[in-house]
Amino acid sequence: MTTVTNLPHWDMSVIYPSLASPEFQAGFAHVTQDISDLAQLFDACHVEKQEHLATDDETIKHFESVLQRYNEVLAENKTLNTYISCFVTTNTLDTLAQARMSELQQASVVLAQLGTRFTAWIGSLDVETLIARSHSARTHTFMLHKAKTQAAHLMPPAEENLASELNLSSGTAWEKLHGDMTSQLVVTLDVAGERKELPMSMVRNLAYESDRETRRRAYEAELAGWQKVAVPLAAAMNSIKSEVNTLSRRRGWQSPLDASLLDNNIDRQTLDAMMSAAREAFPDFRRYLHAKASALGLSQLAWYDLFAPVGGEDRVWTFNEARAFIVEQFGAYSQRLSDFAARAFREQWIDAEPRAGKVDGAYCTWLRRDESRVFANFKAAFGGVSTLAHELGHAYHNLNLAHRTVLQRSTPMTLAETASIFCETIISHAALGRASQQEQIAILEESLQGACQVVVDITSRFLFEQRVFERRKARELSVDELNNLMLEAQRETYGDGLDENALHPYMWAMKPHYYDSERSFYNYPYMFGLLFGLGLYARYTREPETFKQGYDALLSSTGLADAATLAGQFGIDIRAVDFWRSSFDILRQDIAKFEELTK
């Protein structure tokens, strides 16, 4: 196991000196007071569902006043929320951070209720007249049209308020339980002949080791670890899915998926086109898995071989080497992108060290204005470099959204992956261009491994979630039933690409996305993001200068239009299967090259 030391922690002192500081206490009190004052403004302006509400001068004046203040309070709350959550996710054992987060969640219930009132109020307005008569409304046109649709799916105000209050002790509480249990889960494992107690995140990182016996033992230890906490995690899963089912039905949605599609600014036709193209590509990904098995000297891959290294990449990438490579290669696209990445490293936006109590995975979160924070568990291989580039792409997206209001910059997950996939592709192609044959195999493997996860594994997770929602309407599901549903979905998607007797029945327990009560189907948007990003990269390679003229503008507009409209600006029809097939063609070329190089 490669150990990486001296990895950076992010700097949060630019907001407050610490969670225990007087400055933080004052800032926290200021935000909660602003939420209270906003509620009074809503009351004074009668921001709520109304019958026969005239769009007269007084209403327009109220709208503009409320819109401005609502955006300001949302931004303040976001910065405070991000500040606290950065302490929670890097150390879930930090009881002070957990307490402050709980306090903020209590205060944010009021803000969530105000959001529901705002949506209901928009539903009462003549939106077209409002847009025609108010400049502020015109700059928020898409948000207004979307809110009008959402308003038609609201329960009566008293019921929406009750749902918001109860969520803290239901969906949010179960989500918190999952995060706390999984981040603090310790697994017993023999490492180099020594029996050790390791955090689950470190055990899962052993899946990237070259020694198959190490991977197998880590996999078995991981499954045993999940088995120990499966009962409470199944309770969390059952409770969250039941809550979402109930609220979806009461709000008039045919299914939670329909609500998710609106949230992600796409329609069922787009989703069906993408998923159809994905199913067509499964045989190609199975070819990749067979080629990888052959390269490893195996007749068939087991689950614990999915992330095994292939090729001659013996190189250990230090964090500083990753930093230099990313800054340099981003500069091949534009100086603005390169300078931005250099700033993120210089100003300590990145927390890269895996450690006890730190949540697994990687993410980027907007902090304030043009600043973000990047969370990673860096591993000293090209995959670690690729992950940093991916998350910095999210941060670059946030940079381009910096001049937008919070309501204008509300980017759905489908489009949130646009810049991250683009930046990740820049790095992968740059690395391929200067690599030896054996290094090319390793880099292609890294790229295809990720694509396989985003297409094949994401589809299995999507099918699993669909089936859990459907079965949860009747009753709770046991641990064994959840395991069997997950295995069924994995067999259906991976096919003969993996040994069906060595799959991962507890993937439902590991993935935090299933435990977000306010965002269901946190899976297919990743596939959309990958394929849309690849499609845009293909356009860039064909017409680089023309592409650059519109790319940053596209990133700054991801909250201003639906995905089909934005894609249309680049001549892309996302409702047609052919577009998605063309993105898969890029992956098929990589698969063919991987097969050729590994023969």
Of 92, 12, 24, 1, nearest in space to 351 by CA = 12
Cβ-contact 155, 113 below 8 angstroms: no
Of the candidates 167, 201, 188, the one whose C-alpha atom is nearest the C-alpha of residue 89 is: 201
209 contacts: CB under 8 Å, gap ≥ 6: 1, 215, 218, 308, 309
| 85-132 tens-digit pLDDT | 999 999 999 999 999 999 999 888 899 999 999 999 999 999 999 999
Q: What is the DSSP letter of 192?
A: T
* Predicted local confidence at residue 314, as pLDDT: 61
Strands 186-191 and 194-199: antiparallel
Q: Is the pLDDT of residue 2 over 50?
A: no
Where in 200-329 does DSSP place strands (E)?
Answer: none
Gap between the Cα atoms of 266 and 415, Å rounded: 10
- What phi, psi does 358 have (nearest 5°)? -85, 135
Nearest to 422 by CA among 514, 308, 294, 334: 334
Quick one: pLDDT band at residue 1, thresholds 50, 70, 90?
very low
CA 461 to chain centre: 14
pTM: 0.83
How far lies 223's CA from each of 218, 378, 494, 540, in Å?
9, 23, 19, 43
pLDDT tens readout for residues 394-448: 999 999 999 999 999 999 888 998 899 999 999 988 988 877 888 889 889 988 9
The closest alpha carbon to 106, from 77, 126, 127, 75, belongs to: 77
**18-50, pLDDT tens digit by residue?**
999 999 999 999 999 999 999 999 999 999 999
Question: CA torsion, points 405, 257, 273, 411, in degrees to nearest 10?
Answer: 10
User: What are phi and psi for residue 210, nearest 5 degrees?
Assistant: -75, -25
* Number of other residues whose CB lies within 10 A of the CB of residue 13: 11
Residue 321 confidence (pLDDT) above 50: yes
**Residue 264 binned pLDDT confidence (cut-offs 50, 70, 90):** very high
- DSSP 3-state assignment of 362? coil
User: If you search the block for the tokens 């990145």, which residue do you land on?
Assistant: 350
Classify 266 as helix, strand or coil. Answer: coil
In this structure, are strands 350-351 and 371-375 parallel, antiparallel, or unpaired?
A: parallel
What is the average pLDDT across 285-292? 97
Pairing relationship of beta strands 194-199 and 371-375 according to DSSP bridges: unpaired
How many CA atoms lie within 13 Å of 204's alpha carbon, on the beta-carbon side? 22
Measure the CA–CA gap between 461 and 521, rounded to whole angstroms. Answer: 9
Q: How confident is the model at residue 6 (pLDDT cuts 50, 70, 90)?
A: confident
Q: What is the pLDDT of residues 554-581, one digit of tens each?
A: 999 999 999 999 998 878 899 999 999 9
Over 90: is that where the pLDDT of 383 sits? Answer: no
Spatial separation of the C-alpha atoms in residues 102 and 31, rounded to whole Å: 15
